[in-house]
Amino acid sequence: MSQPQNALDAPETLRKGPAKARLWWAPVICLIFLGLCAWISGVFAPPVQQAAPASTASAAFTQLIPSGSGTPVRAALSIDGETYTLSSTEDGYALAGESIALDANAAKELLATGASITSRQTLQGDPAEFGIGDASDRVVYTYADGSELTLLLGNAVPTGEGWYAAIAGAEAVHVVNNALHRTLYAGKSALYALPDLGERFSAQTLLSATIIQPGKDTITIARVTEANPFNTVVELTQPIHYPANSERAAEIYLALEQLTLSGVAAVEGADADWGLDAPVATLVLQDQETTTLTIGQAEGVYTLRLNDTAAVYTIDGALLDFLQSVTVPYLAEQLPGLVTLNQVSALTLTTGEETFRFTTDQANHAYTLNGQPLEEDVFLPVYQQMIGLLIERYTVTAEAPEAARVRLDYTLADGSDWSLILAAYDEQFDLIVREDCACFLISRAKVDAMVDAVRALIP
C-alpha cells in the first residue's frame, strides 16, 4: 500500500483557475474608486476660471515711421515750453528766424529721429492714462514729399525703460527708448555751434593781451620779439613799461588759452540785459587777428560777447579767476630776480655808513665778503634773501625819492653794472628805484631783515 504525497507536492495546489476567479472584481473596484475621487474633487475644488480675454499689450517691435519716408527735412518742436523749427538747407541746417551758426552733428541727429522710431511695446487704452493729450509735448516731422507725421510724447515708463508716445490720429500708445527722448529734450541751445576760441589765439602764439577791469589799471603784457611767436620773454607795456615776470605772464597766457564757452545765453539782445553794458572785464587779444572778449554778469551767470557778434554766450566763472591776479605788482619782474647768481661777479650793499662788498665765482664755489672768504652754504641763503625781495604795491604818485636807505650795486660777468635803490617812502614801505622807474613799494621790515642777515655774516 503506497504512502500519501506531501501536501506541497499535490498537483491541486498548482492550479490557478480558482484564484483568478476570486480576483476579477479588483479592477472594477479600482475604477469605481477613481471615479468617486474625481467626482468628489470636482465638487470641492474651486471653479476653473475662464481664459482671460486677449492682452491689450503687444511686445512686438513696431516701426512708427512709414516705410520710404526717409529723413525729414524739417522738425517743428514744442518741448518743455520751448518752440522752435529746425530745417535742413542747401548750406546745412538753420533754425527758423535765427541766423546763428548751428552744430551740424547735433542738427543731423535731431532730424534723424524722424527717420526711424521703433516701438518696443504697443498698448491699447486711454492715451490720457499715459500722459498723452492735446497739451502733450510734440514734434511735427515734415518729409521731402511734403507728408507730415506728429509724434506726441507722454510720461516715463515707471520701470525707467522708456517713454510713452503716440502718433497723432492713431489710437495705440507706444513705448519708445530713452535715447530718442534725450535727443528731443536736449533743448534748442544744444543745436548751437559754440565758437572755438582756441582757433583764434593760443598761449604760444599770443602776441599781446590787454586786460581792462573796472577800478583797476589797464594792463598790457606783450612779447618782446613779435617775429618769434614762441618767445617767452614778455614785458609790461601798460600802464608802465617794465620787464614782466615770464612765469607769471605765462600763467596769464595759459589761462586765456583755456577760455571756453559753455553755452548760448541769447541769440541776440541788448547789452544791458546781460551785464555787458558794464562789463566785469574786457580782453583784447592780439594774435594773427585781434579778438575782443567782453565779459559781463547777469543774475549770477557770466556772459560773453565775441567781438561785435549779436549772440551772447555763457562762460564758467571759474575760468575767470585768473583776472584777480592781473595786477602790475604781480606781473612785474621782481627786483634783483632779474639777475641770477651766475651773471654776477660782484655785489655791493650800502646802507648809511656801512658797506658790504661781495665777490662771487659760482663756477669755482668761491665767495668773499669784504675780502674775507665765505663758505658757500653760508653765503647762498643770504643771497637768496637778497634776490627774494618781492614787489608789494604799485603807485603812480610817488614823489622824488629821498636819499637811498639801501643801495645794491651789481657788477655783472660781462662787465656791465646794474643798480637798485630802496628809498624811504613812508613808515611802512620803501620806494623801489630801478633805472627810470620809481613806482613800486616794498615792505621796509623785509628790507631791514635782509640788511640784518648781511650784517650777521661779519664775525
Dump pLDDT digits (tens) for 157-186: 999 989 999 999 988 999 999 999 999 999
Q: Collapse the DSSP code of 230 into the 3-class scheme (helix H, G, I; strand E, B; otherwise coil) and give the result.
A: coil
pLDDT at 13: 34
Angle at 440 between CA 435 and CA 445, to 5 degrees: 115
CA dist 319 and 258 (Å) reads 7
**Which strands make up the sheet holding 312-315, listed edge to edge?**
242-243, 234-238, 219-223, 208-212, 281-286, 290-298, 301-306, 312-315, 261-266
pLDDT at 35: 55
Q: Is 9 exposed, middle or buried (0-12, 13-18, 19+ CB in 10 A)?
A: exposed
Angle at 147 between CA 145 and CA 148, to 5 degrees: 140
The conformation of residue 356, written as its DSSP 8-state character, comes to E
pLDDT at 3: 43
Cell triple for 211: 586786460
CA dist 131 and 152 (Å) reads 10
Question: Model-level pTM?
Answer: 0.62
Dump pLDDT digits (tens) for 198-209: 999 999 999 999
Rounded alpha-carbon distances, angstroms, from residue 299 to 272, 275, 283: 12, 9, 22
CA dist 325 and 344 (Å) reads 31
With helix as H, strand as E and coil as C, how does 309-345 read? Answer: CCCEEEECHHHHHHHHHCCHHHHECCHHHHCCHHHEE
Pick the CATH number of 198-331 from 2.40.10, 3.30.450, 3.40.50, 2.60.40: 2.60.40
Report domain extents, the chain.
57-191, 198-331, 335-455
Which regions in the chain score pLDDT beneath 70? 1-59, 225-232, 335-339, 397-400
Q: Look at the block and give the residue holding cell 507536492.
A: 9
Q: Is 176 exposed, middle or buried (0-12, 13-18, 19+ CB in 10 A)?
A: buried
pLDDT at 229: 53
Dump pLDDT digits (tens) for 400-421: 677 889 999 999 888 898 888 9
H/E element holding 29? helix 25-44
As a dihedral over the C-alpha atoms of residue 126, residue 131, residue 133, residue 138, rounded to 10 degrees, the angle is: -130
pLDDT at 227: 59
335-455 maps to which CATH number?
Answer: 2.60.40
Which residue type does 261 have?
Answer: L
